[in-house]
Amino acid sequence: MAARQREISVSEFFTKNRHLLGFDSPTKALLTTIKEAVDNSLDACEEAGILPDLEVTIQALAENRYRIEVTDNGPGIVKAQVPKIFGKLLYGSKFHRLRQSRGQQGIGISAAGMYGQLTTGKPIVIESRTNRRQAAHRYELVIDTLRNQPVIKRDIEVDWEAPHGTRVAIELEGTYKKGRHGVETYLRQTALANPHVEIRFQGPAEGEVLAFQRASSTLPPEALEIQPHPHGVEVGLLLRMLKESKARRLSSFFQTEFSRVGPTLAQRIVEGAELQPRSSPKRVTAEAAEKLIASIRQVRIPAPPTNCLSPIGEERLLASLKEQIAADFYAAVSRSPAVYRGNPFQVEIGLAYGGDLTSDDLVSLYRFANRVPLLYQQGGCALFKSVLSTNWKAYGLQQSRGALPSGPLILMAHVASVWVPFTSESKEAVAGYDEIVREMKLALQEVGRQLARHVRRTQRRRDADRKRAYIEKYIPHIGIALQDILGLSEKQEAEIVETLTDTLARSRKM
Amino acid sequence: MSSKTPVKSAATSVAKKIRTEARGIRTKILQRKTPAMKFPVRSLSNVVYRPEKGHFQIKGRKKERTLTVGTVKTFAQTLRMMAFSQELIETDDMATKREAYYVSKNWDDARFNEQPESDTVIEDVEALFGVNREQLGFVPEEKGGDVAGELIVVDHDRDTGEKLRIDCTRFGSGAYSIPISVEQLQFETNADYILAIETAGMFQRLVKHSYWRSANCILISLGGVPTRACRRFIRRLADDHQLSVYVFVDGDPYGYSNIYRTLKAGSGNAAHLNEFFCVPQARFLGVTPGDIDEYDLPTHPLKDVDIKRAKDALKNDPFIQHHKPWQEALQKQIRMGVRVEQQALAKHGLNFVIDEYLPRKMANKKAFLP
């Protein structure tokens, strides 16, 4: 019985959890597949210090059957890495490290490949070239669901023009839709949050071509990897770290495995749990670990380093908004890094107002976590709720109770963190930690104030124009009346109208 | 008491006033200053009651209408109305207030949307120059009031100039209608007094039973707040023949402080003209709050607007403030919380008013309110 269960475990795991992983509807499955491939490509390019050039192609094969192709100019992948990256669910590289990256759990692209294989029986096709001296390879990867193992079925050399890069192709059952949750929206928002990226898109229909131009030719600052901060660990993780650590004493364990802990703090933590600093980390029991956690909570520890974050930055946010959106006014705010439960994070808000944007609708809110657009579950997202609970009337917008403000406005909300707290594994909504909500609100208030200044200025100008038009409507009648009463000539009448218009235009009573 | 005719006395001088005002405005404009017009404030707060003259007199308070964004429309409309008035004067024509409203429809953006707006502007111009609207060439279209009884009105045929003697006893069940302009009229009468009546219903009853014959009086129906023509008609008639004027209206604050007070002392709205359009010799016959008890009359509860009107009159009306009996009457009415209509007298029989009420009242004229 147990053996049978294991045999079907991979596909069953997937089938049971597809809603958590973002494959719960055919529309979403197609979008998630593209999303995961794009995330992977961007992460790979940035790690290698390459300005990303992406090409996304969707080909309609039959009704509800598509071939997704994402090509990048990244560093390429060597053969040994291919199965790990594309074939294993929960492949470990990203899970343990604390550094800002798009994918967080490493489920993504392999789940997409699994979905494609389950719905069409076709392998994932990966083409990659790592440098000028190596030929490009084309791998066909199949997941052996019996043994939960990825297997490279074919490996042939192919032509590849660029010196390096990777192309992933997945065939799947899905539905291609436009609109709020469509591929186009996702790519547009990705370009907004990643001004250093260039994306070309070919949709399933003929001539359905889009190009998102690069708005900044510098890569975002590299995010450094950091060790966990003591305030962010829980008992389970602490126990595993204790078991895996090479440190021989508890005090050195805390100093080497955590950030911001020196000899004094390490000693205080250990003694606070009534343990010996010299005792071995491997011997710590679950009970003692809980005491350690309690002790950590009592000790004041400096905030974690924030060089692990890579925000978009105010300047690049502005450049990106100006490149992608035709508006009258732009504002951007990058808050300083802050910390929730030992995890550094940073909130950014971008705003575009007026111009071609329509004013009757509710504000469009684009949410991002580590530069990845969040298209679903807006209602459950802390970023959305922060926008709701901000008083936009104070900033010159209209807002009904419990609704987004309305006006010609696009709002971007970005939270960057080594560990973005999502409400679920499908990574669609940010959880409402007090610290995050507070930072969001401060950022929103800051852009709000900038917006209010602009709105007031525009309003004043419009009022002045309206007043002038109003005055100019009636001044001629004063001229006509005076002409009638005093029997003036046309010239004398014109003189009155001209002089009076001029006087009123200068008048401060306007 | 002045009885000098205010109309057509100085039509050319009005045209001159208009030109002077226009010239001043033009000069200001060419000096690059914002022009302004000064209007007397047209409300009760800007009048004082002159008991020795018997009418409201305007106090000096003026409001200035400076040409700004907020006033440019009214400013332009006022000037155009002045130009229109000047045209009327110079062509010896006239226009009703409604016609003036329609003429403004040629003024594009400066046109009036509703007649009350153009009426207000005409009244502003009247007050600006301290003249009667007839002097500006505007005539009201409202009815002046009805007359029946011992009176011959001497008028002239419009075309032939022939003298017309209109006998107000000879209208049968109908009545003579007071014209818009009454200055040219002359009167012949042997009546003892004038009885001014608020409602057409009561007037009809008294006419039908020829009350004027038995009482030897002239009956005039006011039809609510009396028009200027009606006030002027009664004033001239009463002055010329030394007649007493008794006023018979509903027993409510509107009858007291609006109808009666306007007839006797004039209005706050056209205070510069009250001198001519008031009837200082008027006395109040009824229905008084005291009549309710004395004649056991059916009543209606005072409405909120009635109470507000009564309190307003006590607080702001210089006429009421001058006359203690009126204050007592209004306070009594507020206390009683009821109002009474003229026709409530019908409770005691349809002709109770003729057979009992009026004779008893006329027997004790000293009890009339001032």
Under DSSP, is residue A337 helix (H, G, I), strand (E, B) or coil? coil
Q: Is B105 on the interface with A (CB under 8 A)?
A: no
Q: Is residue A224 part of a domain?
A: no
8 Å CB contact of B22 and A482: yes
pLDDT of A95 reads 42
Asked whether residue A385 carries a pLDDT value surpassing 80, the answer given is: yes
Determine which helix (DSSP H) or strand (DSSP E) holds A378, and give its type and residue range.
Answer: none
A67 and A45 share one domain = yes
Report pLDDT for A508.
57
- Which amino acid is located at A217 in the chain? S
Residue B189: pLDDT above 90? yes
Q: Say how far residue A337 (Cα) sits from the centre of its chain.
A: 16
Q: From chain A, which residues contact B within 8 Å (Cβ)? A: 467, 470-471, 473-475, 477-478, 480-482, 484-486, 488, 495-496, 499-500, 502-504, 507, 509-510
* Tokens matching residue A35: 């999303």
**B239 — pLDDT class (breaks 50, 70, 90):** very high
- A contacts of B18 (beta carbons < 8 Å): 485
Beta carbons of B109 and A482 less than 8 Å apart: no
**Nearest CB to A471: which of B26, B69, B107?**
B69
Residue A129 pLDDT greater than 90, yes or no: yes
Mutate to test the interface with B, among A470, A480, A482, A485 (most CBs of B within 10 A): A485
pLDDT of B3: 41
Which pLDDT score is estimated for B204?
92
A320 shares its domain with A347: yes
What's the gap in Å between the CA of B121 and the closest CA on chain A? 14
The residues facing B49 across adjacent strands are: B56
**For B181, phi and psi rounded to 5 degrees?**
-115, 130
CATH of the domain at A8: 3.30.565.10
CA dihedral A320, A321, A327, A333 (to 10 degrees): -130
Nearest to A474 among B26, B73, B83 (CB): B73
Residue A314 to residue A195: CA distance in whole angstroms: 12
The crossing angle, in degrees rounded to 10, of helices B11-30 and B72-90 is: 140
Overall average pLDDT of the A375-393 stretch:
91
Please tell me whether residues A419 and A501 are part of one structural domain: no
Tell whether A342 is covered by a domain. yes
**Cα–Cα distance between B83 and B91 in angstroms, integer?**
12
Q: A472, A478, A492: which to substitute to probe chain B, counting the most B Cβ within 10 Å?
A: A478
- Between B197 and A240, the more confident residue is B197
A91 and A160 part of one domain: yes
Chain A within 8 Å of B25 (Cβ-Cβ)?
yes
**Residue A11: predicted pLDDT:** 63
Q: What number is the average pLDDT over the span A452-456?
A: 92
A192 in Cβ contact with A312 (< 8 Å): no
> Rounded distance, CA B199 to CA B118, Å?
29
Cβ <8 Å between B86 and A480 = no
Q: What's the confidence (pLDDT) of residue A107?
A: 61
Which residues of B are known to be catalytic? 102
Residue A221 lies in a domain: no
- B68 in reach of chain A (CB within 8 A): yes
Q: Of A96-105, A162-171, A206-215, B68-77, which gets the smallest average pLDDT?
A: A96-105
Cβ contact A484–B69 (<8 Å): no
What sign does the dihedral A419-A421-A427-A429 (CA atoms) show?
Answer: negative
Which among B22, B34, B75 has CB closest to A486? B22
Pair (A9, A158) in one structural domain: yes
More confident residue, B132 or A122: A122
pLDDT of residue A98: 63
pLDDT at A97 over 70: no
A217: in domain: no
Q: Are B222 and B199 in contact (CB under 8 A)?
A: no
Domain C-terminal end among A394, A417, A442: A442
Tell me the helices (H) and strands (E) count for chain B, helix number first.
15, 17
Cβ of residue B10 closer than 8 Å to a chain A Cβ: no
| Separation CA B248–CA B271 (nearest Å) | 24
Using a CB-CB distance cutoff of 8 angstroms, which residues of chain A are in contact with residue B34? 503-504, 507, 509
- The CATH class of the B146-367 domain is alpha beta
Report pLDDT for B271: 80
Which residues in chain A have their CB less than 8 angstroms from residue B108's CB? 477
B75 in A contact zone (CB under 8 Å): yes
- What residue numbers bound the domain in which A131 lies? 2-212
Structure-model confidence comparison of residues B142 and A379, the more confident one: A379
A470 in a structural domain: yes
* Confidence band of A88 (pLDDT split at 50, 70, 90): low
- Chain A residues within an 8 Å CB radius of B80: 477, 480-481, 484
Q: Is some CB atom of chain A closer than 8 A to the CB atom of B22? A: yes
The band of A89, judged by pLDDT with boundaries at 50, 70 and 90, is low
How confident is the model over A344-361, as a mean pLDDT?
A: 88
Per-residue pLDDT, B345: 93
* Residue A225: inside a domain: no
Residue A421's CB is within 10 A of a number of other CB atoms, namely 18
DSSP 3-state of A56: strand
Domain locations along chain B: 11-139, 146-367
Read off the pLDDT of residues B81-139 as tens digits, 9 standing for 90 and up: 999 999 999 988 889 999 999 999 999 999 999 999 999 999 999 989 988 888 898 88
Smallest CA-to-CA distance from B306 within B331, B284, B334, B286 is with B334
Q: Is residue A473 part of a domain?
A: yes
pLDDT > 90: percent of chain B: 67
Q: Which residue among A482, A484, A503 sits closest to B34, beta carbon to beta carbon?
A: A503
Fold of B11-139: Arc Repressor Mutant, subunit A (1.10.10)
Mean pLDDT across B62-85: 90
Q: Kindly state the average pLDDT of the residues A434-444.
A: 94
Nearest to A503 among B32, B75, B110 (CB): B32
CB contact under 8 A, A481 and B33: no
Q: Which of B30, B68, B83 sits opposite A484 (nearest CB)?
A: B83
The confidence band for B6, taking pLDDT boundaries of 50, 70 and 90, is: very low
At A199, is the pLDDT very low, low, confident or very high (cuts 50, 70, 90)?
Answer: very high
Quote the pLDDT of residue A94.
Answer: 42
Q: A2 falls in which pLDDT band (50, 70, 90)?
A: very low
A451-477 mean pLDDT: 88
**pLDDT at residue A509 is higher than 60:** no
User: Which of B32, B33, B80 minimises the CB distance to A477?
Assistant: B80
- The confidence band for A342, taking pLDDT boundaries of 50, 70 and 90, is confident
Select the more confidently predicted residue: A227 or B100.
Answer: B100
Query: Do A340 and A420 lie in a common domain?
Result: yes
- CATH number, domain of A290, equals 1.10.8.50
The pLDDT of residue B5: 44
Average pLDDT, chain A: 87
Contact B29 A510 (CB under 8 A): no
A320 belongs to a structural domain: yes
Q: What is the CATH number of the domain that holds A412?
A: 3.30.230.10
Determine, for residues A470 and B22 on separate chains, whether the beta-carbon distance falls below 8 Å: no
- For residue B18, the chain A residue with the least C-alpha distance is A485
Same fold for the pair B11-139 and B146-367: no
Q: What is the reported pLDDT for A4?
A: 45
Looking at residue B104, the DSSP 8-state letter turns out to be G
Q: pLDDT value at position A306? A: 79
Task: Report pLDDT digits (tens) over A398-411.
Answer: 898 888 999 899 99
pLDDT band (50, 70, 90) for residue A316: very high
The arithmetic mean of pLDDT across residues A161-181, rounded, is: 92
Global model pTM greater than 0.80: no
Please tell me the distance in Å from A483's CA to the nearest CA on chain B. Answer: 9
In the structure, what pLDDT confidence band is assigned to residue A108 with cuts at 50, 70 and 90? confident
B39 touches chain A (CB under 8 A): no
Contact residues, chain B, for A480 at CB < 8 Å: 80, 83
Task: Give which of A470, A471, A474 to mutate to test B binding, by max B Cβ within 10 Å.
Answer: A474
Measured between beta carbons, the chain B residues lying within 8 angstroms of A495 are 30
Predicted confidence at residue B301, as pLDDT, reads: 95
| pLDDT at res. A103 | 64
Kindly provide the residue ranges of all beta strands, DSSP E only, lying in A63-148, ordered along the sequence. 65-72, 124-129, 136-144
- Which tens digit of pLDDT belongs to each residue from B41-54? 888 888 888 888 88
CB within 8 Å: B75 and A478: yes
Identify the pLDDT of residue A8. Answer: 47
Total domain count, chain A: 4
Distance from the A459 Cα atom to the nearest Cα atom in chain B, whole angstroms: 17
**Same domain? A63 vs A148:** yes
Quote the pLDDT of residue A9. 55
Average pLDDT over every residue of B4-11:
48
